[in-house]
Structure 1
Amino acid sequence: MRNIDSPEWEIRCDLAAAYRLIAHFGMDDLIYTHLSARLPGKEDRFLLNRYGMMFDEITASSLVVVDPDGHALEKEQASEINSAGFTIHSAVHMNRADAHCVMHTHTLAGMAVAAQDQGLLPLNQTSMELYGRIAYHDFEGIADDLDERERLARDLGEKEVMILKHHGLLAIGRTVAEAFHNLYYLEQSCRIQIAATQGGQKITLPPDEVVAHTVAQSNGYRESKSYGSRTWAALKRRLDRISPDYAT
């Protein structure tokens, strides 16, 4: 493999770690879905997983560099990526300068909430922190139509997370750490909602003023550039113990 400079290698290690952690927390879907990251100093170059690898197999060196349409830059790697799967990611990367990392999943809880008419409810302090920050995108079929990118970008707007109706979840971040933090807690919020409603029990929603207060409380730390970094450092220490080859 070609020589890789230090900033790119750091991004590769973080993205590979995210793939492993998505698998660790049961948020993967066999070989499908993607996590992508923008290469530092190269606004139109992105890292993507090799198509056919399980998320717990991904390593820093196995990630492929692709262009905005998801085509591998190295000809010999063209058959190793699923360019159609990059449609959603390219829609976000090319329309949001702050979207240095984009994560998309097909989890049971995420897809279940994506099929519910009311969307994500503020049932818990975790989901309350996301209240008003969630975008929604209507299902248009399998996302391999490049024309859909404009509508994906429009629906996401300036938000950090999105529920793709009848499809799954999406989160972005200024760093891999931030994107993972956003996705993890969006997933947890969906799991809480499914658990709270699965038996047909009557649920209660907090007063609007309490939700608004919780949102205000979370604003400060969410806007910090170090948002999610402490958790991310702890998660990588876990990987260093149980799956250290992610950084190879």
Structure 2
Amino acid sequence: MYDIPILNLKNSVSDAEWHTRVELAAAYRLLVMHGWDDLIHTHISARIPGTEDLLINAFGLAFEEITASNLVKIDIHGNIIQPDCPFDINPAGFTIHSAVHIARHEEQCAIHLHHPDAIAVASCEGGLQPYSQYSAFALASMSYHHYEGLAVVHEEIKRLQADLGDANFMLLRNHGALTMGLTIGDAFMHMYDLLRACEIQVKMQQAADTLIKVEQSIIDGIKAQANIVHTGQTGGQKAWPAMMRRVKRQYPNFDI
């Protein structure tokens, strides 16, 4: 009842799939390390390069239990295509991830979280405000989706896709946060920036003083400035190797 099936897929999948499995497992462990997990709920999904297939967490595992081998391979419609897979996936979670991967084929990774500060900001009519440098990054590519209950209704997919558009950051009203990325590292760094922005906004809105906002001209140019700082790389590409090393130190066996 309490034992987790032990799998080792390293020598039975392609190099591209195994690399994606290792990075995705690391992302799940990072969520635990940052306190962003929500028991067994919320998800990170990643497309295996060169395919339409996705990897997502097994429903019922805590995020600190996720390894490269126990991630579940599914097709874009949510069918498990991994031979002899002993796990299931969460259908409510997959509705969101299928919607964004179908609409945004170029993006490899989607992260959806239920962070309290993200829910608080998403539930304010004004949404995210330009109160910090972190918010400037998010506001440069921000979208919103209204709450429709648990994401199990197929018709919601089209509305979610329309609301997302080409944005990399989304606040789901009364629900949480979503970020997209060309790589797993990019999606992680986008979520880092978004949650920092939400945390700061919640703190600032408790202040009695007048709040100073970032000017719109700075938000409009923030991507070009970030490109200079990262010497042509994305934030995820620059920071992700350090995050992988951090996970390996904390969880030496995540990549089995």
Structures share fold, TM-score greater than 0.5: yes
When residues 160 and 245 of structure 1 are mapped into structure 2, their CA distance, relative to the original with a 3 A threshold, is same
1:141 corresponds in structure 2 to: 149
Q: Which has the higher mean CA deviation after the structures are superposed, 78-87 or 208-217? A: 208-217
Q: Do structure 1's residue 32 and structure 2's residue 26 form an aligned pair?
A: no
1:92-241 to 2 correspondences below 5 Å: 92-199=100-207, 201-214=209-222, 216-218=224-226, 224=232, 226-241=234-249
What is the alpha-carbon distance in structure 1 between the residues aligned to residue 110 and residue 223 of structure 2?
23
Distance, in Å, in 2 between the alignment partners of 1:215 and 1:38 is: 25
Q: What residue number does 1:52 align with?
A: 60
Paired residue total: 247
1:211 Cα offset (Å): 3.9
Q: State whether residues 12 and 47 of structure 1, in contact with CA within 8 Å, keep that contact through their aligned partners in structure 2.
A: yes
Deviation at 1:222, TM superposition (A): 8.2
8 Å Cα contact 2:72-2:85 kept in structure 1: yes
**Which structure 2 segments of 5+ residues have no match?**
1-7
Take 2:13 and 2:146, find their aligned partners in 1: how far apart are those partners? 39
Cα distance in structure 1, aligned partners of 2:150 and 2:44: 17
More displaced 10-residue stretch of structure 1: 134-143 or 80-89: 80-89
Cα distance in 2 between the residues matched to 1:102 and 1:224: 22
Q: Supply the RMSD in Å over aligned alpha carbons.
A: 2.1
Distance change in 2, residues 1:38/1:224 (3 Å): farther
SS at match of 1:42: coil
Q: Is this contact kept in 1: 2:137–2:193, CA < 8 A? A: no
Task: List per-residue Cα deviations over 1:192-237 (Å, max 9, x = no partner).
Answer: 1111113555322234344444455236668955441121111111
* Structure 1 length-normalised TM: 0.92
**Is residue 19–residue 35 contact of structure 1 (8 Å, CA) maintained in 2?**
yes
Following superposition, the deviation at residue 141 of structure 1 comes to: 1.1
Change (3 A) 1:222 1:76: same
Q: Aligned in 2, Cα 1:203/1:226: closer, same or farther, shift over 3 Å?
A: closer
